Structure 1
Amino acid sequence: MNFFTLSAFMVFFSIGAEETCTKITENLHYSCMGRNLSYIPLSIPSSVQKLDFSFNVLKFLQKTVFPVLSFLQLLDLSRCYIKGIENDAFYNVQNLTTLILTGNPITHIGPGCFNFLRNIQRLMLVDVGLTSLQLHMNNLTKLQELKVGTNNIQFMTLPSFMSTFKDFSLLDLHANNISIIKKNHTIVLREMSRNITLILSRNPLLHIEPGAFKEMYLRELDIRSSFVSVAVQKVGLEALCGLYVKRLIFGKFWDDYRIYLPDTDFLDGLCSIYFQEVYYFMKDTPNQQVNIFRCMINATNVSVTGVLIPNGAVMPFHEIKELNLISSRLDILPGKQISHLHTLEKLVITHNIKVLGAESLVDIPKLQYIDLSSNQMTWYFGCCPNLLNGTPQIRYLNLSLNSHVSLSERGFEGLDSLEILDFHHTRVAGMGYHSYLSNLKYLRYLDVSYSSITFCNIYCFYGLSSLNVLKIAGNNFQSDVSRYIFNNLTSLEHLDMSFCRIVELHPSSFKDLQRLQLLNLSGNKLMILDFLAYSNLNKLTSVYVAKNSITSIPLNVLQKLPTNLSVFDLSSNPIDCSCSQTDLILWIIENQKVLKEPNDIICTMLSPNSDFRAIDFDIDSCVHNKRITIILLLCFLTVIVILSIIVYRFQFYLKYCCILLRGYRSARQQECSYDAFVIFSSYDEVWVMNELVENLQNGFPPIQLCLHMRDFQAGKSIASNIIDEGIMGSHKFIVVVSQHFIDSAWCRFEFELAQSWFVMERNANIIIIILEDVEEKKLKKVIDLHKHLKKNTYLKWSRETLSSMRFWIRLRKAVIAGKQKYCI
């Protein structure tokens, strides 16, 4: 290879590589992920701040690998097959704050490889084969996070110099091979800041030396699935005596093995640990009833997931502010145990299998947040004052994703402070008939979507003067209730009425919603949007009317749409794309930035299954036709108009006759260039190329076929190509009949030319191939095709082996017959 060829190859390769990276933010953020690159492309500007180079091939990091990227702050080199990092490898990227080396099979780390990363804050060496934390990181004094999970580290001993790292806040050692923790392993951690998160989850801990964590202050300790047995966990928790931690996370991951809990005191070790928040994840049931909360009484935040909590379990919390009982297999909401917790502010009891009842919550004066969702709860007695009669400060109430809730005649009496109320996907009995919400003057958010409600009372939302968001999707309206039900909701900004089977909306339905910004009416049966033109919705920015029955929108409605409209979803509607709707089509074309899915606005002018997009409609042709029509009407009156319509209607066939006569008068002894001209739809091109061409043209003897996409001359009109190359240049015609053929205007045109040629010249043979069955009434759409099939023998394609062989023998014989004759 000479120098010029080599240079050209390198330039070509360089250009190709530069195009492989994706620009996320101009000059600042680029992604080259998964491009099989072995170097940083030249197209990456020196000003880049974030570079994702993961899933490429670098193998060895040296000083020459990186160009000078002085502003680069984040570099992701995950899964790049890096085996070694040489000294000064990051010399040209000295200002990095985040370096990700996850998933590289690193076998060599040079002692000076991190020398120039003095600004690094986050270093991720996850799954790189590390066996020790004794890394050469002396210069990384600004390091905040060190993630070395999924390695083979056996001891959590940090280098002594890290005690000077004042900003250090996270050490992630999950899924390593740490089995023993001694006092001398935690010396450096003890000397560090009190704001450190330590993650030891999924380590096979066998022994923790008592006092190893004594007087250590941590922000968070995660030891989920970190003990090899329950007995080891019990002793391990006791060995954490003297630890001060703000958030303690322990228990099992959901994908971990199920263990047997033989003792009632397996959590007693928690009593010697000082913590504020505790998160206990388990999926096991103790052999005997045990009070899992006994050592959590001083916690402010308690979260228990997947633990069977027996009825009557004692909850003697002193300073509790938040209590989460998730997937706890409760059969009744434990109101008696939770009552009288004077400090409780947030209560979450969710994802239980089947809650059969509920006890009242009494004397919880500070409770503001209650989430009882996803409990499959069936609540036939009145809700909600009976349940919450001792919680006057409730602001958030979530009863969604339950089975059934009945509202009492008292409605929400005594819950005047409610701001958020959520019933979505819960059958709510009674709400559509009464004004249960009238006392909730501070309610800002109400969701009763898919709650099997039929709104019959126009005063259902009476009194909700502060309501900002209302979601009532998937419900029903009786008669014209929707015209009045939103009266006085003057603060409403978000209204979701999707999938409510709404056929028509009165213009006055939204007259009081002057602050409305989002209106969702998708999935209804609306045909007109006139209410948008006459409603006082000046602040509306988002309108969703997808999946309705809208065929047209008058110009006066389009002109009165809010000027600050930023999202208008008109997709999946049967838009009428015709010259009578040019105003709408033009508006769609000019406002594609506002339209949510402009490519999904499909025209139905040809058929209900048409995939012709509205934005592809030719407006100019409509304007031109209108002008011609007006001139003809003024000049030639009725007779001229009729003649013009006739000429316009049959102009295609007049042109067709002229083309036919021109071809017939051409040279009569022209030799055929092709044995057969194949008339087919472009949708059947795969069959033509893979079957017809392969068996005829590539067979023996070869039969020359004329195919429009291959043999028509470029720059020549399609009609002329059909006459010169197809009709006059071929001895016979092969017509491939399918549904696509019937629907194609060009296919019908080509067949009619061939049929006319057959009438004029008796030796012009037409061979019909039925590629797929077509209804008889559709065959009649093509002039004389139905009659031709009745009077002449045709071939029918079949994939069956024996039938296919007979098909090709008969077709080859029909084409070869009379092959030496000349074209007329």
Structure 2
Amino acid sequence: MTAICTDRGMFLYVVLILVQNGNGEGCTQIRKNGHYSCGGRNLTYIPTSIPSSVEMLDFSFNFLPTLQRTVFPQLYNLKLLDLTRCHIHHITDDAFHNVKNVTTLILTGNPISYTGLDGLNSLHKLHRLVLVDTGLSSLNVQFSNLTELRELNVGTNNVQSVALPPFMINFRDFSSLDLHANNISILRVNDTNVLRQMKGNITLILSRNPILFIEPGAFQNLHLRELNIRSAFISLDAQRDGLKALVGLNVGKLIIGSYRAHHAKTTETNDLDGLCLINYEEFYFYQNQWLDLSSHVFRCMVNATKITLKRGRIRVIEPVSFRQLKELYIGKNGLEEIPQLSNIQSLEKFVVVDNDQVLFRGLRDMPSLRHVDLSRNLMSLRSCCFEYFRDTPNIRHINLSLNANIMLLAKPFSGLDLLEVLDFHHTEIGVVGQFGLLQNLKYLKYLDLSYTSNTFGSTSSFYGLTSLKVLKIAGNAFQKETLGYLFENLIALEVLDMSNCDIDRLVWRDFRDLQRLQHLLLSQNRLMVLDFLAQTNLPSLTRLALDQNGITSIPQNTLQNLPKNLSIFDISFNPINCLCTQRDFIQWIIEHQKMFPKPHNVLCKTLQTDSKMRAIDFDVESCIHAQILTVVLSMCAVLLFVFASVLAYRFQFYLRYSCVLLRGYRASRQQECSYDAFVIYSSKDESWVMDELVENLENGIPPIHLCLHVRDFEAGKAITSNIIDEGIMGSRKIIVVISKHFIESSWCRFEFEVAQSWLVTQGNANIIIIILEDVEEEKTKKVFGLHKHLKKNTYLKWSGKPISNMRFWIRLRKAVMMRN
């Protein structure tokens, strides 16, 4: 009783916490009026914001301990309801009345301890019911009214019998029973009576159950669409006996393999003899661990239409007279030799992959064969290819990729005229580029010769491939002048991959016949210029990959002539220069960054640093100001030179300013500084400067020597010269006191602009900003460069509070004393 009270108290405590700490965030609309997601929002009720027209509701990972009629508002259009892991313990009668039109109900991961007699029965239109990991111990669930049910998933529970309740005989559309990962160890004849009386064509999943014994006759006269007993038997012996006990079963797809207990390797010839007692069309045998199989493994599969074997070690396979086999897949089986399955008139698809140095003697007399995949076998073939595919005139697909090496005959595809897909990638062949070996493949649509050690020296390498849509020749080489004619007459080509081919130059003539080309991949080459794009001869191009080349800039006329349909333009990881002379190109990158698959990988290098920055972060505005300043200064210089005698007085201020800057630029950067800091401030803020700034810096320890225009400028000397000589050139740092008076003062703005100009010429960043009083952001833009400086640099702010001021002086003194 104490334990029960403790649990009940904990339950009430959790409820109280959930209610007090908020009912969660609002739901997310995935699709207009159609799909709402409320998953993981800590909700304890269905939000009223969800419209009544909702069709799909994900309410997983919330808190609904008891389902009753009042929980759900009237959602009569709701078709899918996901209540995964909502801590549901009780489902009362008529709980789903307001959502009675639901066709899919997911209750995964709920510890359901009580369900009313009519708890689920109001869901008359339910097609799919998922009760995975709900603590079920049997299939006697009260849902007799769910006659429209098609799929029942009760995996990962503690169900011990496959027996269905008798009322399910009336479920005419029922098609799938998933009992994976339960505790079914014995299957008896009575357990399958209901299944036997149903209409048939049902999928039965018993994988990952500890099956020890199947009573003979349990599956007699049972018709199933699929039976999955993979990883279901506790041992290889149990699997062998269990297969024999399936006598009389009729099934479309049978999936077995990977018994549960570890077992030594076996070479028994009767391990799969039980298959001879079963009628099946498709057979799938999957192993998680290596298992030696008999050479007679196919003996009981002569009537199969499709066979798949994965990871069962078969050294040699004895010939079998298959009657109606259409597809054969053998993967990771340690074959020493690809089985000689010649004369199988019905075989359409043949796949043998992932073996090691397997021997292939060829296929013969297989008129229905269309698809052959022998990739990843490390094969070495000589005299390829028609010698290996004699009397197989209907082959459409050959994949010989990822093998060791293949030698081609003079006419390697004679008799294989209907080929549509040919794949040799990462297999050394080395001669395709020298001769017109493919000219009879007029129906070929896909050709992959990537990384095949080819050097394309013949302009007729692809002659005759008028239907080719995809050509991949990455990782190969080209002789000079070959590219100009290599793609002639490939009028149907849509995808061309020439990545990593050491290409340093392309011209528009190379692609003149490729009017339908949509994807052009030129990654990892040595291209520096894009002359071939200057003329619009690729009207259909939508994707152009130029990443990892040597591109530093793209001229404006090339950018203007890019194909109009181009939507993906990859120029990432190129040595682009971030210079003001390339302002137009950088601006184009910023404006068209949606075209780049990963804009943050479009990097560029500046003169000031060896590190790279993102091109989209380059400050184009600074180039505009610099350009404007350059133009103004140039115009002034020309005007001063032409009209010096007339305009000398009028422009003497700007002339003096330019001369002083020029003299300052030529001065030695290592000259001795007389002051620690030059202070730029408004005369209306002089009291604060003298009483606070001078008092705390010059009278502190160690003293900091400030340059103030009221006391330190040389009398009789031009103000501009004093600013440069005494203030900027004579001081290590520059302190700028920002206030409303500073913004309104033309001399303050001038001093700040001169200071910036000087620091730009010297390449230093020694300006220390003090915000004496807040200034509106728009007003800071009146001072050239100030707004941008405040955005990009840390500044000090005066508050007038004693504690804050103490930190202020410490930071200011540290900033002034810091060496460059």
Q: Which residue of 2 aligns with 1:821?
A: none
- Give deviations 1:515-566, integer Å, cap 9, x for gaps: 0011112222222222122251101111222232322222222222222222
Q: 1:313 aligns with which of 307, 318, 321?
A: 318
Distance in 2 between the 1:11 and 1:485 partners?
74
- Give distance in 2, aligned partners of 1:504 and 1:644: 49
**Which residue of structure 2 aligns with residue 366 of structure 1?**
368
Task: Give the match for residue 134 of structure 1.
Answer: 140
Give the conservation status (yes or no) of the 8 Å contact 1:510–1:535: no
| Secondary structure, counterpart of 1:543 in structure 2 | strand
Residue pair 1:401, 1:423 contacting (<8 A) in 2 also: yes
Which runs of structure 2 are paired with 1:149-548 in the superposition (5 Å)? 149-252=155-258, 257-261=262-266, 263-282=268-287, 289-335=294-340, 338-355=341-358, 357-379=359-381, 381-548=382-549
- The amino acid that maps onto 1:544 is A
- Equivalent AA in structure 1 for residue 286 of structure 2: F
Residue identity matched to 2:373: D
After superposition, the C-alpha distances for 1:600-633 in whole angstroms (9 at most, x for unaligned) are 3334235666564433445555456555655665
Distance 1:339 1:509, change over 3 A: same
Q: How far did residue 370 of structure 1 move? A: 0.4
- 8 Å CA contact 1:660, 1:723 repeated in 2: no
- Report the CA distance between 1:60 and its aligned residue: 3.1
SS in 1 for 2:690: coil
Asked whether the equivalents of residues 361 and 388 of structure 1 are also in contact (C-alpha less than 8 Å), the reply is: yes
Write out aligned runs for 1:536-615 (5 A): 536-605=537-606, 610=611, 612-615=613-616
Shift of 1:505: 1.2
**1:371 CA displacement:** 0.6
Give the TM-score, by structure 1 length.
0.76
Q: Distance in 1 between matches of 2:386 and 2:407?
A: 12
Alpha-carbon spacing, 1:725–1:388, altered in 2? closer, same or farther (3 Å): same
Q: 3-state DSSP class of the match of 1:593?
A: helix
Structure 2 contact 399–423 (Cα < 8 Å) conserved: yes
Q: Secondary structure at the match of 2:417?
A: coil
C-alpha separation in 2, matches of 1:614 and 1:524? 21
Shifted more, 160-169 versus 715-724: the winner is 715-724
Q: Classify 1:96/1:576 alpha carbon distance in 2 versus 1 (closer, same or farther; 3 Å).
A: farther
Q: 1:11 to 1:313 in 2, by over 3 A?
A: same
Displacement of 1:263? 3.6
Q: Which one has the largest radius of gyration?
A: 2
SS at match of 2:238: helix
1:612-631 map, 5 Å: 612-619=613-620, 622-623=623-624, 626=627, 629-630=630-631
Aligned partner of residue 577 in structure 2, secondary structure: coil
Deviation digits for residues 98-151 of structure 1 (CA, Å, limit 9, x no counterpart): 222222222222322213322222211111111111111122222111111111
Aligned residue in 2 for 1:797 = none
Distance of aligned partners of 1:258 and 1:425 in 2 relative to their CA distance in 1, 3 Å threshold: farther
1:722–1:650: structure 2 CA closer, same or farther, 3 Å change rule?
farther
Closer/same/farther in 2, CA of residues 171 and 620 from structure 1, 3 Å limit: same
Partner of 1:703: none
Question: How far apart, CA to CA, are the structure 2 residues paired with 1:317 and 1:713?
Answer: 94
Q: Secondary structure at the match of 1:540?
A: coil
Aligned equivalent of 2:109 = 103
Inter-partner Cα distance in structure 1 for 2:106 and 2:302: 41
Counterpart residue identity of residue 138, structure 1:
S
Deviation per CA, 1:635-690, whole angstroms, max 9, x where unpaired? 6516579988778999999xx9561686777552338789999x9xxxxxxxxxxx
Q: In 1, Cα distance between the equivalents of 2:627 and 2:768?
A: 32
Counterpart CA distance in 2 for 1:366 and 1:568 is: 43
Segments of structure 1 that go 5 or more residues without pairing to the other structure are 1-8, 680-710, 727-743, 751-762, 770-781, 787-824
TM-score by length of 2: 0.76
The letter for the 2-side match of 1:370 is V
1:82 aligns with 2:93: no
Shift of residue 203, structure 1, vs aligned partner? 1.4
Q: Cα distance, 1:329 vs. partner? A: 1.2
Instruction: Answer yes or no: is the 8 Å Cα contact 1:70–1:94 preserved in 2.
Output: yes
- Using the alignment, how far apart are the partners of 1:32 and 1:401 within structure 2? 47
- Residue 472 of structure 1 deviates from its aligned partner by 1.8
Does the CA-based 8 Å contact 2:309-2:331 persist in structure 1? yes
DSSP 3-state at the match of 1:295: coil
Change (3 A) 1:211 1:470: same
Preserved contact between residue 267 and residue 294 of structure 2 (Cα < 8 Å) = no
Moved more, 660-669 or 433-442: 660-669
CA contact (8 A) 1:263 1:286 kept: no
Q: Secondary structure at the match of 1:397?
A: strand
For 1:765 and 1:222, locate their aligned partners in 2 and report how far apart those are by CA, in whole Å.
73
Q: How many residues align?
A: 694
Match of 2:777 in 1: none
Three-state SS of the structure 1 residue aligned to 2:389 is coil
For the Cα contact (< 8 Å) 2:235–2:263, is it kept in 1?
no
Residue number among 785, 789, 802 corresponding to 2:819 in the alignment: 785
- Deviation, 1:413, is 1.9
3-state SS of 1:581 partner:
helix
Q: Which residue is 1:63 aligned to?
A: 69
When residues 13 and 658 of structure 1 are mapped into structure 2, their CA distance, relative to the original with a 3 A threshold, is same
CA RMSD of aligned residues (A): 3.9
- Cα-to-partner distance string for 1:159-184 (whole Å, 9 max, x where unaligned): 22222222211111111111222222
CA distance 1:455–1:647, change in 2 (3 Å): farther
**Contact in 2 for aligned 1:260/1:284 (Cα 8 Å):** no
Q: Is contact 1:511–1:535 with CA below 8 Å preserved after alignment?
A: no
User: Contact (CA 8 Å) 1:354, 1:377: kept in 2 or not?
Assistant: yes
Which whole-Å CA distance do the structure 2 matches of 1:82 and 1:387 have between them? 63
Give the conservation status (yes or no) of the 8 Å contact 2:455–2:476.
Answer: yes
Q: Is the 8 A contact 2:54 2:75 kept in 1?
A: yes
Aligned-partner Cα distance in 2 for 1:504–1:608: 29
Q: Secondary structure at the match of 2:483?
A: helix
Which of 691, 699, 702 is residue 669 of structure 1 equivalent to?
691
- Code of the residue aligned with 1:146 in structure 2: it is L
CA–CA distance in 1 between the matches of 2:740 and 2:82? 49
Q: What is the CA distance between 1:286 and its match in structure 2? A: 7.8
Cα 1:197–1:664 change in 2 (3 A) is same
Aligned-pair CA distance for 1:713: 10
CA contact (8 A) 1:259 1:284 kept: no
% identical aligned pairs: 47
Task: Report if the CA contact (8 A) 2:292-2:312 is conserved.
Answer: no
Cα deviation 1:42-84 (Å, max 9, x = unaligned): 5544433333333333333333333433333222222333333
Q: Where does 1:738-777 land on structure 2 (aligned, <5 Å)?
A: 746=793
Post-superposition CA distance 1:240-280 (Å, at most 9, x none): 22111111111217x86345546422222211211111112
Paired residue type of 2:491: T
The answer to whether the Cα contact below 8 Å between 2:315 and 2:336 also exists between their aligned partners in 1 is no
Q: In the superposition, relative to structure 1, how do residues 784 and 96 fare at CA in structure 2: closer, same or farther (>3 Å)? A: closer
Contact 1:230 1:259 in 2 (8 A): no
Q: Distance in 1 between matches of 2:401 and 2:488?
A: 26
SS in 2 for 1:670: helix
